[in-house]
Structure formats: C-alpha cells, structure tokens
Chains A and B, each alone.
Chain A
Amino acid sequence: MNSDRDFNRLLDQWFADGPREVSDRVVVEVADRIERQSQRPAWRFPGRHFQVNLKLQWIAAAAAVLIVAVFAGRELLAPAPNSGVGGASPTPSASPDPNFVHATAFGVPLSLTLSGGWTRDGIERTNLDLQHGDVDLGFHPMSSVTLPGATVADPWIPVPADFVAWIAQRPEFVASAPRTITIAGRSGTVVDADFVWKAGTAKRDFLRYTTGAWLYDQGDDGNRVRFIIVPASSGVGGIVIVMNARIADFASAAAALDVVLATVQFDGPGATPAS
C-alpha cells in the first residue's frame, strides 16, 4: 500500500464489492406507505420562491414594522416593577434547573429530573433518549413501536398486552421474573432480559418504530436490556422504556434510573399533578 494511487484503487474495489440489487419488497412497501402519506404543500418548504407583487411586499413590511412598534411601545409605557417609593428590591428569579426535563415534544408529554449520572440525549415525538456513560435508554410512546412476531417471516406486531409471555418465547432473550413498578401513580411491568443468541436463530432488530424505521439493533452476548412497560391509563398514552447495557454496567445504571423514574410526572388529562 505504498502510493495514494494504490490506496484509492483499493478503496474503489472495496466499495465496488457488495450487494447492488434491492429486494422488490422495498418498492412495494414504499408504494403502500405513500398511499397513506399525503404530500406537503409547497409553501411549507423554506427557501421556496413565491411570486409576490411589489405592493404586497410593501404592505407586509409595513405590517411588520407596525407590530414591532406596538410591542416596543407597550414595553416602554408599562410601569416598571417595584418602582414605588420604598418598594422592595426585585426578587431574583430562580434559575431553571438544568436537570429538569419537560418533554412536551415527546408523544406522551412528561417531565422528569435527571440525577445519578443520567444525561439527556434527545427528545423527539417517538423518543426521549437518556444516557448514562455507555448505557443508553429510550422512552417511547407504546403506539409508536413494534416488536418482532414469533418467526422471522411474521410481521411486526404492536406491543402485546401480555409482554411477559411475549418475551418468554423470544429466542434471543433469557428474561428474569417480572416485577411491578409504579411510575407517577401508574402501574407498569419491569423485565430484565439477557441476550443469548442460540445457534440457528436469525439475528434481527428487537424494537422498531411503526413507520418501519429501525430503532434498536440486535443485541449482543453480554448485554442486558431492561424493558419497562407502562400501559395507557386515565387518558395518558402508554410508554415503553428500554435500557440497553453491558451486564457490567447494568446494575449501577438501573439503580440510578430508579431515582430518575421516581421524579416522572405525566402531562395531560388524568395525569398526576406536577409536584
């Protein structure tokens, strides 16, 4: 591998190797998915150029100036707080707690307080991700995830009501005895499961979004997963919590997770009030 030319040729060859034909199933599934997917109107796209006449542009600019002027005027004319004679000095506002997470964008809005090494990784509608060193954890709305069917040929299924029975028949897991957990007044089930791939079983993902997008990869020997299933109740959607860790890291992350889960409060109708 002496020259850049050889090295480039090597990479060209390496990239040229590999599959080049996609399964017909992919286009069939896309055709099926777009039947249920409408197109966004063109005005939703940033940077799209519209033909706007000059008069309309002037009106829009004048309206913007007027709105700014009205708000600025209101601020200037409003009496200053604590401006009376002998008034108390302004009370400093409490700075927001950096560990407090209010996940309103998450599909089942909730809040929690991080501690014990857990940090926030990302919040989207389908996932609220946390990290604890190399250990990662996702909260997912139950309605947004699917699980593998009994065989590789079976379709993905919604999270079954009897999750314990489902995991007991999965070839890739050896599950511990389930236990109950209460999160913000809602009852759920905790199952810890070790990956133990058996010869002859096919490797596949163990959790997917309902859109078909991959969520969790196949596990690997030496990993343990904590599943926490909290069904929907009192008008608040169900959630699935999945923590994936090497067995050596599992206990400390799980202990710290219990503390975080004790702080969870759900938003929405019938949810527990925030403390």
Chain B
Amino acid sequence: MDRDLVEAAAKGDRAAYVDLIGSRADHLFAIAQRILRDVDRAEDALQDALVIAWRDLRGLRDPDRFDAWLRRLLVNVCIVQATRERRRVVNLRILPAEGPAAPDELLTVENRDQLERGFRRLPPEQRAILTLHHFVGYSPGEIAETLGIPPGTARSRLHHAHRAMRAALEADARLIAVGGRSA
C-alpha cells in the first residue's frame, strides 16, 4: 500500500505524498524534537525535510526504503539546524522540563535537568546518534547506515556521547555534593 503511495508521489502525485507523510509526521517530529530539544525548531526542521523529500523523491531508487531515506534526510536537516543553533545562540537558557516527572525513581527532576544540560553541550551529530539509539532503538549498524558513516565510527561516537552524558551527570552531582550550585 505505502509502496504504491511512494511510487505515485514520485510521479508527482501531491495528494499521495500528503497521505504518505500524514501517517509519519508524529514519529518524525518526535525524533526532531529529541535532537533539537525545541518544539518550534523541530517543526521547522520537519517541514524543511518533508519539502526536500518531495523535491528529491524521484531520486529514491527503492520505494521500500522510503522510511529509512526520509529519516536520514530529517536527521541531516536537524544536524544542520543544531549546528546553526550552536553558532547563533550566544546564551543558552535551559527551560524546565514539561510535565510531571516519571514515576520511575531513576529519572528525577534533577537528573532530567542534568541530562538536558549535558545533551545540549554535545555536538549535533552525537545528539542525533543518541536519539537514534535510545529513542528510535537503532543499533550502531543502523545508525551508521542512517548517517552514512562507517559502523565503527558510529559505535565510537555513541560511546563518546554516552561518556559525555555520564560526565555531565557526575559533574553536577559533584557540584551538589560540595555545596555548590549547578548552573
């Protein structure tokens, strides 16, 4: 069914394309929001990615690869946006997390804030790697395919990203332990 829609859209059928993206928009938005940590920017990135996908759809050789191709495109747009954000935003203000804390004791409000801070300090590609791994559930091999990097590189960057996030938690914990205040 979706294969038919992809083929029709690739032949210029706009209605088929809108049908196709309508059922995927929520999931793609959630990925973009995790990478960019901002609803407005995630919506902008998703819009841009979907317009680019329409423009370039005839270049997709295998209609069955549409989802992976679209996800790759979105992640690349998010990385570009996140790179711009790092250049543009002189002072970064961390906003409090929305909604109540999860019942699980692991994810306290404090942890959430520390993770947010640590995540925003990561290079955009590492943010994308963590999102693909922990939110989409990709293995390092699938991450490598999505980002167009060797699997070894994906593994190593995932490792670095984990280390950076862990360091962020531990650094804040140390500050609190000595009576300091995390920024």
Question: Contact at B166–A7, with CB atoms within 8 Å?
Answer: yes
Question: Contact at B39–A217, with CB atoms within 8 Å?
Answer: no
Question: Contact at A22–B90, with CB atoms within 8 Å?
Answer: no
Question: Contact at A246–B57, with CB atoms within 8 Å?
Answer: no
B66 CB within 8 Å of chain A? no
Question: Contact at A19–B33, with CB atoms within 8 Å?
Answer: yes
Residues of B contacting A34 in the complex (Cβ-Cβ under 8 angstroms) = 14, 17-18, 51, 54
B49 to A, closest residue via Cβ: A30
B145 CB within 8 Å of chain A? no
Question: Contact at A10–B48, with CB atoms within 8 Å?
Answer: no
B87 CB within 8 Å of chain A? yes
Range for the number of chain A residues in contact with chain B: 35 or more
Looking at A42-50, A174-182, A233-241, the stretch in contact with chain B turns out to be A42-50
What is the interface of chain B, defined by CB distance below 8 A to chain A? Answer: 10, 12, 14, 17-18, 21-22, 25-30, 33-34, 39-41, 43-44, 46-48, 50-51, 54-59, 61, 81, 84-85, 87-91, 93, 97-99, 102, 104, 106-107, 111-112, 115, 130-131, 134-135, 162, 165-166, 169-170
Give min CB distance, A124 to chain B, whole Å: 11
Question: Contact at A27–B91, with CB atoms within 8 Å?
Answer: no
Question: Contact at A30–B93, with CB atoms within 8 Å?
Answer: no
What is the interface of chain A, defined by CB distance below 8 A to chain B? Answer: 1, 6-23, 25-27, 29-31, 33-35, 37-42, 44-45, 48-49, 121, 129, 131, 134, 136, 204-205, 211-217, 220, 222-223, 244-246
CB contact between A37 and one of B25, B28, B54, B134 (< 8 Å): that residue: B54
Bound form: Cα–Cα A161–B179 in Å: 55
Secondary structure call for the A interface: mixed
CB contact between A27 and one of B22, B27, B48, B97 (< 8 Å): that residue: B22
Which 7 pairs across A and B sit closest by C-beta, in order of nearness? A45-B59, A22-B29, A15-B135, A220-B91, A15-B134, A42-B58, A30-B50
Question: Contact at A11–B134, with CB atoms within 8 Å?
Answer: yes
Bound form: Cα–Cα A44–B3 in Å: 23
Question: Contact at B44–A214, with CB atoms within 8 Å?
Answer: yes
A13 to B, closest residue via Cβ: B107
Residues of A contacting B115 in the complex (Cβ-Cβ under 8 angstroms) = 10-11, 14
Do A26 and B47 contact each other (CB < 8 Å), given the known contacts A40-B59, A42-B58, A244-B88?
Answer: yes
Bound form: Cα–Cα A26–B39 in Å: 12
Residues of B contacting A245 in the complex (Cβ-Cβ under 8 angstroms) = 90
Question: Contact at A31–B18, with CB atoms within 8 Å?
Answer: yes
Do A217 and B89 contact each other (CB < 8 Å), given the known contacts A15-B34, A21-B29, A27-B22?
Answer: yes
Give min CB distance, B19 to chain A, whole Å: 10
Bound form: Cα–Cα A201–B163 in Å: 38
Residues of B contacting A121 in the complex (Cβ-Cβ under 8 angstroms) = 87
CB contact between B88 and one of A11, A22, A216 (< 8 Å): that residue: A216
Give min CB distance, A126 to chain B, whole Å: 12
Residues of B contacting A30 in the complex (Cβ-Cβ under 8 angstroms) = 18, 21, 47, 50-51, 54
Residues of B contacting A16 in the complex (Cβ-Cβ under 8 angstroms) = 135
Do A22 and B43 contact each other (CB < 8 Å), given the known contacts A39-B12, A217-B89?
Answer: yes
